[in-house]
Structure 1
C-alpha cells in the first residue's frame, strides 16, 4: 500500500452501491479506495489509517453508531461520512455530535455530495499536514526569526551559526556593533538548546560598578563586607543548569578575569567572604562590541580567558549591511508598536521606505526601532511619509521609549517635535495633538519648549 495516497474505505453491505461510490470517487487518481461489506472487516483494517470512511448506517452485523464509535476510538484522525437510507434529523445530529464529518441521505445526488465532502476533507488534510510540517521545521530551529528578523544572506549565516550553537553546550561569543541584537541572539540560542527549561540569566558587565561585580557574579556570605546582612546567591548560581549571558564582557576588570577563568575551568565558584566551593553548571554566552583580540594585544584582556571564551563565534552584521532587512524590520516594529499602543496600523510610503534605505543607521536595529516608533506617532494619516522619518540624536542614542523618562518629559518631547515639524504653529500643533493651545503657550513661557 502507498503511504502517501489519500485512503478511502467504503463500508456498505450493498455491493452494487459500494461499486457506484467507488466509480465516482475514482475520478480522482490520488484516491486509494478499498471496499468492505462487513463492519468487522473494516475495523480490522483500521491499522492502515484511512483518511476517510464512508459508513453505511444500516449494516447487518453492527449498528452504525457503534461502528462510528469504534472508528473514532481506534483511528481518531479518520473522518467518517455517514450514508443512510433514512432522513432522520435526530439521528444525524447525534452522529455529528459523536464525531461524524457529514451525514448524507441515499438518493440520486448522494455520489456527487459525497464527492464534494471527500474533496473538502482532502483539502483540509493537506493543509493540516502542511501546517504540521511547518511547525515541525519551526520547532527544530525554534524559529530564530522570532527573535531576530531578517532574510538577508548576512542574517542567514547568523541563523546557521545559531543553529550550530544551540545543538551543543559550547561557549558562544557574540560580536557586533551596539544595537545589532546581541542579547536576542543569546536568548535564541538558550531557548533552542537542551537547557531551555532552565534559567536564562543576563548580566551587563559594564552596568555594574567595579566594586560590586564580584559579588554580583559569585554571590557573598553574610558579613563579607559592610551591608552584607545575609547570604546572597550570585548570577552563576542563579543560572545553574541553564545559561548565563555576560554582555559587554570586554569591560570586565582585569583583576576579576582570573577568577572568571577559574570558574570556567573548574565549574565551581566561591562566594565573596566564603571558603566553600559551590559547583555550578551554567552554559556561557558572552557578547561585546569590542575586538577582544585587540584588547589582548593592549594588555586589557587576558589571552587565556580570551581563548576560553572564544568558543563558537557569531558575528552580527551592522544594519547597513543587511539591505532589505531594514524594511522588513521597520514594518514589524510599526505593527508591534501600533498594537501595543492601540493605534491604527500604518504603512510606509515609497518615499519613507527610500529614506530609511538610504540611512547608515549608526545605532543599528535599536536606532531603526526608535525612528519607526517616532514616525508612527508623527504620521497624521495611515501612511507614514518621508517627513515623518526623523533621524535625531535621540533616535541614534537608542529606543525612543526605552529611557524611562517621566510622562511629562515624553509629552514635552513629542510637543517639541511637532512644533519643529509644523514651523512652530501652536494652533496647528494643538489641533494635531488634541491638547489646549494654552498648555503649549504656558510651556513655552516656562522655557519647557522652544518656540523658534
Structure 2
C-alpha cells in the first residue's frame, strides 16, 4: 500500500452495494479501498488509520450511530460518510452535528454524489496537510536558539528571557534599536509557546494612519463610517487564541491608548460602529525602539498603559555591543545567500572581518545582512575583500573614527570625505566644515609634499 494513498474503509452488509461502492471509490488511483461486511471486523482494522470510512447506517451488529461513536473514539481525525437506504432528516442532522462529514442516501445518483463528496474531501485533506507542513516549517524556522544567531553575553541573556517567556502567557515588551530583530524574537516566543498552532498577527503601529488604527485593531461594522462597505474583523479577533504583536507601540497616538488599555484589561473589544462587546483571548507582545519611560514623563504615553504592557522586558543589544557576533552573523548571512542563489560560499579575508568589526552598524542586523549580500554579489573570486564591503555614505564618518590615527590624519580623512561628497567643491566643503578655503588648499598641499 502506498504511503501517499488515501485509505478508505467501506462498511456495507449488502454484497452487491458493497461492490458498487468499492468499484466507485477505486476509480481514483490514489485511493486504497478495503471493504467490510460488518462493524466488528472494521473496528479490528482501525489501527491502520484510514482517512475515511463510508458507513452503512444499518448493520447486523451495530447501528450507524454506535459505530460512528466508536470510530471517533479511536481517532477523531477519521472522516465518516454515513450511507442510508432512506432519508431520515433528524438522524442526518444529529450525525452531522456529532461530526460526520456527510450523509448520503442510496439513490440512483449515489455514485456521482459520492465522487463529488470525495473530491471535496480530498481537496480539504490536501489543504490541511499543506497547512500542517507550513506550520511545521514555521515552527522549525523559529527555533530561537538556532534562528537568533550569536554567542555574546548580551544575546545569551536574551535566550534566557525567551525561555522564561515561552513557559507563560505573560505580556512581553521587547525594546531595542531599529534592526536588532524585535519581530524575530516575538515570533520565536510565539512559535515555541503554547499558542504556536494559533495565529501570529503582527501590527506595525507606525505604518497605520491615525484615523484607521481603531478600525485595524478592533474592526468595524458595515456602514460605521464612509468607506466601510462591509464588516471588518480587527487584529484582536484575528489573533484569537494566538499572539497579537504590536510593533512600534510607542508610535500609538495617546488618544487611542485608553481604548487599547481597556481591551487589555477587560479582554473584550467593541467594533467601530458596533454595540456588542466581543470577548478576545490572545497573548500580547509589544515592541518599541523608543524609551517608553521617557515618553511617559513627557506625556506622550499613558503611565497606566505602560505598566499594563511592561510584563517581561526583553532588551535587544545593538550590534555594535555584541562583539564577535558580527563575524558569526556575517558568515551566516553569506552562507544563507549562497544557498538561496545556488552559489559557492565565499570566505571573508582577515582585513574584511576587521573592517566589519570596526564599523558601528547604525542599522544593526538588518544593515549587516544587506552589506554582506551586496559583498557576495560584488566579490569576484572566492574571497570577500575589504573593497567589496560598502557602508552607507552617511555612516562613513562613524566608520572612519573607529580607526586609530593621528589628529592630522583624521583631519585629512574628513576633508577628503567631504571633497568626495561635494564633488571637489572646495568652497562648499569650507562652508560645511566652517574653515577657510585657504586652509583646505594649504593642508592638501602639505599632504602632497609629505607623500613625495
Instruction: Give the TM-score range, shorter chain.
Output: 0.5 to 0.7
Aligned to 1:181: 181
Aligned to 1:352: 352
Quote how far apart the aligned CAs of 1:395 are.
9.2
CA deviation vs aligned residue, 1:234-290 (integer Å, no higher than 9, x gap): 001000000000000000010110000000000000001101111110100000000
Asked whether the equivalents of residues 142 and 187 of structure 2 are also in contact (C-alpha less than 8 Å), the reply is no
| Equivalent-residue separation in structure 2 for 1:153 and 1:223 (angstroms) | 54
1:220-299 map, 5 Å:
220-299=220-299
Asked whether the equivalents of residues 141 and 147 of structure 2 are also in contact (C-alpha less than 8 Å), the reply is no
| Equivalent-residue separation in structure 2 for 1:211 and 1:340 (angstroms) | 41
Query: Is 2:343 aligned against 1:343?
Result: yes
Q: How many residues align?
A: 259
CA deviation vs aligned residue, 1:368-395 (integer Å, no higher than 9, x gap): 0111111111100110001101112499
Distance 1:363 1:141, change over 3 A: closer
Q: Secondary structure at the match of 1:212?
A: helix
Q: Secondary structure at the match of 1:281?
A: coil
CA deviation vs aligned residue, 1:288-335 (integer Å, no higher than 9, x gap): 000000000000000000000000000000001111100110011111
Deviation >6 Å, runs of 4+: 139-142
Query: Is 2:401 aligned against 1:388?
Result: no
Q: Secondary structure at the match of 2:211?
A: coil
Aligned to 1:302: 302
Q: Secondary structure at the match of 2:210?
A: coil
TM-score by length of 2: 0.56
Quote how far apart the aligned CAs of 1:342 are.
2.4
CA deviation vs aligned residue, 1:31-81 (integer Å, no higher than 9, x gap): xxxxxxxxxxxxxxxxxxxxxxxxxxxxxxxxxxxxxxxxxxxxxxxxxxx
Distance 1:297 1:330, change over 3 A: same
| Equivalent-residue separation in structure 2 for 1:260 and 1:293 (angstroms) | 18
| Equivalent-residue separation in structure 2 for 1:337 and 1:204 (angstroms) | 27
Quote how far apart the aligned CAs of 1:344 are.
2.0
Structure 2: stretches of 5+ with no match in the other structure: 1-138, 397-419, 421-452
Aligned to 2:135: none
Aligned to 1:144: 144
Quote how far apart the aligned CAs of 1:345 are.
1.4
Distance 1:362 1:347, change over 3 A: same
| Equivalent-residue separation in structure 2 for 1:159 and 1:217 (angstroms) | 30
| Equivalent-residue separation in structure 2 for 1:161 and 1:142 (angstroms) | 15
Asked whether the equivalents of residues 141 and 163 of structure 1 are also in contact (C-alpha less than 8 Å), the reply is no
Q: Secondary structure at the match of 1:224?
A: coil
Aligned to 2:367: 367
Aligned to 1:119: none
Distance 1:140 1:226, change over 3 A: closer
Quote how far apart the aligned CAs of 1:340 are.
1.5
Aligned to 2:198: 198
Quote how far apart the aligned CAs of 1:339 are.
1.6
| Equivalent-residue separation in structure 2 for 1:249 and 1:393 (angstroms) | 30
| Equivalent-residue separation in structure 2 for 1:161 and 1:284 (angstroms) | 16
Asked whether the equivalents of residues 141 and 192 of structure 1 are also in contact (C-alpha less than 8 Å), the reply is no
Asked whether the equivalents of residues 352 and 386 of structure 2 are also in contact (C-alpha less than 8 Å), the reply is yes
Distance 1:319 1:336, change over 3 A: same
Query: Is 2:384 aligned against 1:378?
Result: no
| Equivalent-residue separation in structure 2 for 1:140 and 1:159 (angstroms) | 16
Q: Secondary structure at the match of 1:159?
A: helix
CA RMSD of aligned residues (A): 1.9
